[in-house]
Structure formats: C-alpha cells, structure tokens
C-alpha cells in the first residue's frame, strides 16, 4: 500500500484519538487546583453549610470567609478533603474565570447531588 493510500487511514486514526478526549479536560492540577470530582463534592458541602447558616442565622449575612468564625467553619468543612479555604477559593476562581464550561458541568453535578440528598431525606 502506498503512502497516499495510507494517509486517509492515518488521518482518521488521529481524528479518532482526539475526538475521544474531553475538550475541557484540565491538565494543570499541579498548580494546586482542586480536581473537578473533588471540587463538585466540596461545592455540595459548601452549599449545604451556607444553607444551614442562612436557615438558622448562625452568622449574619455580612459574614464572609475572611471572618475568623467563618474561616474556622470552612477549615473544618474542607479538612476531610485535605483542602484549605484558600485553595478552594483559588480553585473556584480558576474554574469560574478560565473554564466556565467545566464550572457549568460542576454545578450540574452539584444540583444533581443536592436533589438526590433531598429525595433521600423525604423517602
């Protein structure tokens, strides 16, 4: 088989390799970014903690992560994941600014997980 005859097969093979990859796959976890699967779980926990805080008025609405009480709350929340509040915030900003499609996907997963928890709670 000549080179010209092999070229279409080679091009199809290269296309198949690249088509199977996630175009939004991230390659920079070494920079301290929380991977998407862990980030999704963290976002679920953060939203539950914020809901609890708002529902029970544990803190005033003006409280932020920079306040000592909130910082400690989040430190305890992130401890099982091995993530600091600062790393979480940096990762959140990274996904929000540089990978909005991935962030959208994360929040789709967060919504699904929260709905599953709600369904489990009322069974």
CA dist., res. 24 & res. 101, Å (int):
7
Whether the per-residue pLDDT at 18 is higher than 90: the answer is no
Radius of gyration in angstroms for the set of CA atoms belonging to the chain, rounded to a whole number? 21
Residue 41 is assigned to a structural domain of this protein: yes
Residue 22 is assigned to a structural domain of this protein: no
- Identify the top-confidence range among 8-17, 52-61, 76-85: 76-85
Residue 116 is assigned to a structural domain of this protein: yes
Whether the per-residue pLDDT at 108 is higher than 60: the answer is yes
Residue 7 is assigned to a structural domain of this protein: no
Q: C-alpha 61: how far from its chain's center?
A: 24
Q: Report pLDDT for 9.
A: 47
Q: Report pLDDT for 112.
A: 96
How far from 67 is each of 7, 57, 62, 72, 74, CA to CA, in Å?
A: 62, 15, 10, 9, 11
Q: How crowded is residue 91: how many other Cβ atoms within 10 Å of its Cβ?
A: 22
Whether the per-residue pLDDT at 89 is higher than 80: the answer is yes
Residue 6 is assigned to a structural domain of this protein: no
CA dist., res. 106 & res. 79, Å (int):
21
Range with lowest mean pLDDT among 10-19, 20-29, 44-53: 10-19
Structural domain that includes position 110: 28-121
pLDDT digits (tens, 9 = 90+) for 53-80: 777 665 555 655 556 666 777 788 899 9
Residue 44 is assigned to a structural domain of this protein: yes
Nearest to 91 by CA among 50, 25, 22, 42: 42
Q: Report pLDDT for 121.
A: 85
Domains held by the chain: number: 1
CA dist., res. 100 & res. 97, Å (int):
6
Residue 5 is assigned to a structural domain of this protein: no
Residue 54 is assigned to a structural domain of this protein: yes
Helices (H) and strands (E) in the chain, counts: 5, 0
Whether the per-residue pLDDT at 40 is higher than 90: the answer is yes
pTM of this structure: 0.67
Q: Report pLDDT for 51.
A: 81
């Amino acid at each position: 088989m000549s080179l010209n005859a092999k070229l279409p097969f080679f091009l199809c093979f290269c296309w198949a390799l690249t088509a199977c990859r996630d175009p939004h796959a991230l390659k920079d976890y070494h920079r301290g970014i929380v991977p998407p699967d862990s980030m999704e779980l963290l976002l679920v926990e953060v939203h539950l903690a914020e809901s609890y805080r708002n529902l029970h008025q544990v803190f005033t609405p003006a409280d932020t992560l920079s306040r000592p009480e909130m910082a400690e709350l989040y430190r305890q929340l992130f401890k099982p994941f091995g993530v600091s509040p600062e790393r979480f915030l940096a990762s959140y900003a990274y996904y929000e600014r540089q990978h909005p499609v991935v962030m959208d996907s994360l929040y789709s997963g967060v919504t699904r997980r929260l709905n599953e928890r709600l369904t489990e709670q009322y069974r």
